[in-house]
């Protein structure tokens, strides 16, 4: 079957990583379609344990192409740490094996600072976020002021976008929440370094998947979290900021549709 979607039927932690690992062995592409590094999967192979937060579980299997899709939000520093940890254990995470959709949105220190400020303001009514900036990044995406991963390929555009982004976040952090301002220069320097390493991994995610499906290759769509954390269909407001359901795979990856999917063969865990 060209397209298989793995979702969780509860709040997450249903064993999706194990199922993904099993099915990835027969897939050409494994694509993550939602969430950020607040989610993730633990994969055990023999005595080896791999804890993955952003990189699709298929990365453990040589020859499987992995894509972080446009529906995900990515903290570049976290992604690079995860890549380095895997590389140190002999896993190939080079540009030929790991792709990042240019349409994915970036998480910045500004998003993390806002996440913490929002939770402190809520007090006893705090949602209980992981304080990783996931929600604020999705908020900026919906407000059409987010930073897309495609900026990593254009140093000048990235620097300009970051400068504006940090200035706006600092204005709110200082004037509304009484917090210390973020160091714009340090953030710019860090992101310039991140961009130099991640730019070779950028790709047109929808095009990549469309070409794979047209060739008849199997694409495995890897979900994060579970249905009851879906922002529309979950236990609102105690939900995540994306759609970890099968429908989320359609938008979170782009060039996949129900025409490629036979529902009875989808993996529901």
- Residues with catalytic annotation? 13, 41
Are 30 and 67 contacting, i.e. CB atoms less than 8 angstroms apart?
A: yes
β-partners of residue 108 are none
Number of H helices, E strands in the chain: 8, 11
Which tokens go with 262? 């036979």
The strand pair at 41-45 and 48-52 is best described as: antiparallel
Query: In 3D, which of 218, 256, 206 has the Cα closest to residue 99?
Result: 206
> How buried is 186 (Cβ within 10 angstroms: 0-12 exposed, 13-18 middle, 19+ buried)?
exposed
Read off the DSSP letter of residue 26: T
Which residues make beta-bridge pairs with 48?
Answer: 45
């Amino acid at each position: 079957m060209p397209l298989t979607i793995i979702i969780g039927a509860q709040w997450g932690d249903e064993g999706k990583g194990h199922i993904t690992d099993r099915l990835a062995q027969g897939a050409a592409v494994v694509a993550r379609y939602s969430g950020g590094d607040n989610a993730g999967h633990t994969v055990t192979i023999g005595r080896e344990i791999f804890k993955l937060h952003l990189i699709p579980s298929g990365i453990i299997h040589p020859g499987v192409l992995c894509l972080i899709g446009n529906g995900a939000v990515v903290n570049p520093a976290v992604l690079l740490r995860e890549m380095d940890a895997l590389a140190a254990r002999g896993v190939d995470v080079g540009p030929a094996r790991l792709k990042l959709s240019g349409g994915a949105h970036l998480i910045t220190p500004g998003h993390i600072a806002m996440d913490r400020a929002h939770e402190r303001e809520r007090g006893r009514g705090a949602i209980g976020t992981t304080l990783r900036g996931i929600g604020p990044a999705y908020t900026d995406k919906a407000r059409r002021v987010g930073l897309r991963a495609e900026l990593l390929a254009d140093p000048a555009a990235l620097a300009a976008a970051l400068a504006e982004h940090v200035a706006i976040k600092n204005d709110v952090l200082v004037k509304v929440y009484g917090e210390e301002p973020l160091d714009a220069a340090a953030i710019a320097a860090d992101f310039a370094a991140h961009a130099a390493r991640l730019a070779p991994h950028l790709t047109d995610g929808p095009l990549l998947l469309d070409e794979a499906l047209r060739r008849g290759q199997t694409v495995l769509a890897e979900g994060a979290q579970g249905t009851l954390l879906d922002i529309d269909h979950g236990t609102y407001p105690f939900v995540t900021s994306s759609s970890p359901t099968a429908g989320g795979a359609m938008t979170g990856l782009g060039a996949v549709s129900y025409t490629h999917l036979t529902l009875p063969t989808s993996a529901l865990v």
